[in-house]
Amino acid sequence: WLIYSKSKNAVFCFSCSLYKRNENKFSSSSGYSDWSNIYRAIKDHEQTKKHLEAFKSWQLFANRMVSQHTIDFHNEKVLKIEEMHWRDVFKRIILIVKYLAQQNLAFRGTSNTLYTSNNGNFLQLVQMIAEFDSTMAEHLRRYLKKENGHYLSNIIQNELLSSMSKLIFDSIISSINSNKYFAIIVDSTPDISHQDQLTIVVRFV
């Protein structure tokens, strides 16, 4: 609790100065500088009731600060772990969507529930990866216990497909713009449901 000021050549009581509990030389702006009686003065001061109260308050405050720092550090660590978990989960989901789109495979089946028959290629791949991958296994454990969001819904699949489609479209447009000549071929044909399907082919050199 005792601190020394080189500029004033005096000592101060940190706790009493902090809480202003004890109006004496040790907590004044000038400090205590009677060096011939310093030892007795220190002994007398540290036994006063007001000093003991100020010192106790200071220690309690210091302990709270240390405890709060520890709690904040722990919470920050937990948040970082959770952030990494969701980033890794999302990477796997994106790769599944990308694979199915590249292979022109259907995403959904007659069921949208995990571990049920005919629940589609997307959920089947999620289940398969979870058998070998701890990140996806933990994700499905949370999903089945309904602890939080899961990013496995049809809406998420469509949003990812839309984002990928836009990236590909932007890449094609950029390639066309960087070339001097290009040609466009357009054709359409009805599908099995009698809906007209339009195909656009762009050639550029």
What was the pLDDT predicted at 151? 85
Q: Are residues 53 and 90 in the same domain?
A: no
Q: Are residues 8 and 47 in the same domain?
A: yes
Using the predicted structure, report yes or no on whether residue 124 has a pLDDT greater than 90.
Answer: yes
Using the predicted structure, report yes or no on whether residue 144 has a pLDDT greater than 70.
Answer: yes
Using the predicted structure, report yes or no on whether residue 106 has a pLDDT greater than 90.
Answer: yes
Give the mean pLDDT of the chain.
83
Provide the residue range defining the domain that includes 193. Answer: 156-204
Q: At which of 152, 178, 193 does a domain end?
A: 152
Q: Are residues 142 and 162 in the same domain?
A: no
Q: At which of 111, 137, 152 does a domain end?
A: 152
Q: At which of 152, 172, 193 does a domain end?
A: 152
CA atoms within 13 A on the CB side of 147: 8
Q: Are residues 142 and 164 in the same domain?
A: no
Report the percentage of the chain scoring pLDDT > 90. Answer: 37
Q: Are residues 133 and 77 in the same domain?
A: yes
Mean pLDDT across the stretch 174-194?
89
Mean pLDDT across the stretch 162-176?
91
Q: Are residues 136 and 160 in the same domain?
A: no
pLDDT band at 205 (very low <50, low <70, confident <90, very high): confident
What was the pLDDT predicted at 7? 67
φ/ψ of 4, rounded to 5, equals: -115, 135
Note the pLDDT tens digit of each residue in 6-38.
Answer: 767 777 876 776 666 556 666 666 676 777 777
Q: Are residues 80 and 145 in the same domain?
A: yes
Q: Are residues 63 and 78 in the same domain?
A: no
Using the predicted structure, report yes or no on whether residue 96 has a pLDDT greater than 90.
Answer: yes
Q: Are residues 90 and 45 in the same domain?
A: no
Total domains present in the chain: 3
Q: Are residues 11 and 24 in the same domain?
A: yes
Q: Are residues 77 and 131 in the same domain?
A: yes
Q: Are strands 10-13 and 2-5 parallel, antiparallel or unpaired?
A: antiparallel
Mean pLDDT across the stretch 49-74?
73
Secondary structure, 3-state, the chain: CEEEECCCCEEEEHHHHHHCCCCCHHHCCCCECCHHHHHHHHHHHHCCHHHHHHHHHHHHHHHHHHHHHHHHHHHHHHHHHHHHHHHHHHHHHHHHHHHHHHCCCCCCCCCCCCCCCCCHHHHHHHHHHHHHCHHHHHHHHHHHCCCCCCCCCHHHHHHHHHHHHHHHHHHHHHHHHCCCCEEEEEEEEECCCCCEEEEEEEEEC
